[in-house]
Amino acid sequence: MIPLPSLAARFAGIVALCLVALVVAAACGGGSTPASTPPAGEPPSEDAGQEPPDDAGASGEEPSEPEDTPPAEPEPELEPEPEPTPEEPPEEVEPPEPEVVVEPAPYDNDFALTVLRALTVEIGPRARGTEGELAAADYLTATFESLGYEVERQAFTLPFESVSLVEVVVDGTALTADAFGGTVGGEVEARLVVVPGLGSTANFAQVDVTGAVALVERGVLFFQEKVDNAAAAGAVGIMIFNNDPGPFSGSLADGSTIPAVSLTQAAGQVLVGQVGQSEVVAAIRIEGGRRLATSENIIATTGDGSCAIYVGGHYDSVENVAGANDNGSGTSLVVALAQAFVGATGADEICFVGFAAEEAVGGIGGIAGSGVLVSRLVATGAAADVFVMLNLDVTGAGNESVVAIGSSTFTVPLVRIANALGIPARVGNLPSNSGSDHLSFQAAGIPVIFATTTGASIHVASDNFANIVPAVLDNLGRTAHAMLQCLLVGNGAPQEAPEGCDLGG
């Protein structure tokens, strides 16, 4: 056994231990108050002598455990609001400038007369397929181009007939003769044979005309039949003499393969007597005659628009006639209108045309040039886009009153427009057995308006420039000018409508 120390020694040791604990506590607690000592006689508490927690507060209370919370996220930085700026006035939008409408220039009758003189005095007769028609085509092309238009020369080939010389000589004696329309040209010389009767097939069977010139009397049978019978029997030429006094002329619708001429009754009867006495030699010479030839429509456009409106007139004439009224006059108006409307607002929808081969020559049907043009319009589908066709033919002589022919939608307004200009006008009808280029368009369902006049001769030598009446040409020109401006309005152009222009009735 270990002996126990004395009580005093034991007490002293306890005190020393307490002091040491206080010193340690002071050093570790950083100013904490030591736990209270229980009163004497009470047993110490369970916590007596224990060291306080390291994180005990100064008040001696036990601190609470810290919560596990995530670190606070920083607040997003907000962009500073822009400083208010004074409101700017709305941008001023300038209104669009109004469309500038270019009005056509006035109609110039002096210019039209200049064109007419060139066609009829400087060039002269212009039968289809002749040098005269070709010269006129060249002139119109150059004139349209000088006005600023693009020009198409629409060529086509048709039977053509022009006889410049007819000579008939029998046994050295020259006779007056006329070539049949449609005959071929050429030169033959052979014995003359009189055919009995009137030239039927049976009559030719009674004589031998092989390699000969047949002499036949006029009557009963068509000229074409007599000529065909002669050719079939082997004749190289035929002369048909009149069954009445005086000369005559005729046409062969189907043409001929041998030269064919007409003689007076007196000349024919003399030849019958001569052939009955001895063999007679006859010579026939025809320069020209029927053949294929080329004609040209002259079509002037701006190149920018379509042909919604056609303005046209034929520039050819009948043979050996200057054709001033028919139809140098209408052609001159077409060119004068082209001059006035070049550059006008909406005028790029107008096409100006000089038609070739309108006249029937030698029995060959007319209005050929316009027929060729319209056939192309129909074939391409462009005919459906044509608003109207204005035709000008026979406009330079006769009565000063304008005659309107065609669709009532346009004839009535044309009369009103002319009257507003102080020009007499009326609605009329095309005379029987006559025609003009508007008929080709009308046949294709295209509306037409034909401006013309009456009272002057055509197809005769007096149809020349000297017999043109400038006042008549001026009336037709001013009326056509105002009517064309009305047609532009009807086609949608922002032109000012002339007085009387109401296409609605």
Range of the domain at 186: 162-288
Where does the pLDDT of residue 129 fall: very low under 50, low under 70, confident under 90, or very high at 90 and above? confident
Q: Which domain-ending residue is among 228, 255, 288?
A: 288
Where does the pLDDT of residue 226 fall: very low under 50, low under 70, confident under 90, or very high at 90 and above? very high
Residue 186 pairs with which residues in a beta bridge?
286
For residue 55, the one-letter residue type is: D
State the pLDDT at residue 235.
95
Q: Can you tell me the mean pLDDT for 179-183?
A: 87
Task: Decide which of 383 and 61 is more confident.
Answer: 383
pLDDT at 126 over 60: yes
Which CATH number characterizes residue 205's domain?
A: 3.50.30.30
Model confidence pLDDT, tens digit, residues 422-431: 999 999 999 8
Residue 202 included in any domain: yes
Residue 2 included in any domain: no
Q: Can you tell me the mean pLDDT for 167-189?
A: 89
Checking 57-61 for CB contacts under 8 A at 24+ apart, the result is 58/31, 58/32, 60/32, 60/33
Task: Examine the domain organization and report whether 254 and 226 are in the same domain.
Answer: yes
371 φ/ψ sector (left φ>0, alpha ψ -120 to 50, else beta): alpha
C-alpha to C-alpha distance for 60 and 38, rounded to whole angstroms: 17
Q: Which residues does 218 contact at the CB level (< 8 Å), separation at least 6? A: 198, 240, 241, 242, 243, 248, 262
Task: Examine the domain organization and report whether 321 and 408 are in the same domain.
Answer: yes
Model confidence pLDDT, tens digit, residues 101-111: 999 999 999 99
Task: Examine the domain organization and report whether 166 and 144 are in the same domain.
Answer: no
Task: Examine the domain organization and report whether 375 and 316 are in the same domain.
Answer: yes
State the pLDDT at residue 275.
87
Where does the pLDDT of residue 26 fall: very low under 50, low under 70, confident under 90, or very high at 90 and above? very low
Q: Percentage of the chain surpassing pLDDT 90?
A: 64
Q: Which domain-ending residue is among 288, 320, 343?
A: 288
Task: Examine the domain organization and report whether 142 and 263 are in the same domain.
Answer: no
Task: Examine the domain organization and report whether 448 and 342 are in the same domain.
Answer: yes
Residue 382 included in any domain: yes
Task: Examine the domain organization and report whether 281 and 184 are in the same domain.
Answer: yes
Task: Examine the domain organization and report whether 201 and 141 are in the same domain.
Answer: no
Total residue length of the chain: 505
Total number of domains in the chain: 2
In sign, the C-alpha dihedral spanning 360, 364, 369, 374 is positive
Task: Examine the domain organization and report whether 126 and 167 are in the same domain.
Answer: no
| DSSP per position, 282-332 | EEEEEEEEEEEEEEEEEEEE-SSS--SEEEEEE----TT---IIIIIHHHH
Residue 473 included in any domain: yes
Q: Which residues does 70 contact at the CB level (< 8 Å), separation at least 6? A: none
Taking a C-beta distance cutoff of 8 angstroms, is the pair 355, 313 a contact? Answer: yes
Residue 411 included in any domain: yes
Model confidence pLDDT, tens digit, residues 2-22: 443 443 444 444 434 444 444
Task: Examine the domain organization and report whether 178 and 134 are in the same domain.
Answer: no
Residue 495 included in any domain: no
C-alpha to C-alpha distance for 381 and 430, rounded to whole angstroms: 28
Q: Which residues does 372 contact at the CB level (< 8 Å), separation at least 6? A: 154, 156, 297
Task: Examine the domain organization and report whether 344 and 458 are in the same domain.
Answer: yes
Residue 225 included in any domain: yes
- Between CA 103 and CA 110, with CA 107 as vertex, the angle to 5 degrees is 145
Task: Examine the domain organization and report whether 345 and 208 are in the same domain.
Answer: no
* Residue 69 neighbours by CB distance under 10 Å: 6
41-55, 162-176, 222-236, 254-268: least confident range: 41-55
Which CATH number characterizes residue 319's domain?
A: 3.40.630.10
Q: Which domain-ending residue is among 288, 317, 338?
A: 288
219 φ/ψ sector (left φ>0, alpha ψ -120 to 50, else beta): left
C-alpha to C-alpha distance for 320 and 318, rounded to whole angstroms: 7
Residue 184 pairs with which residues in a beta bridge?
289
Residue 53 included in any domain: no
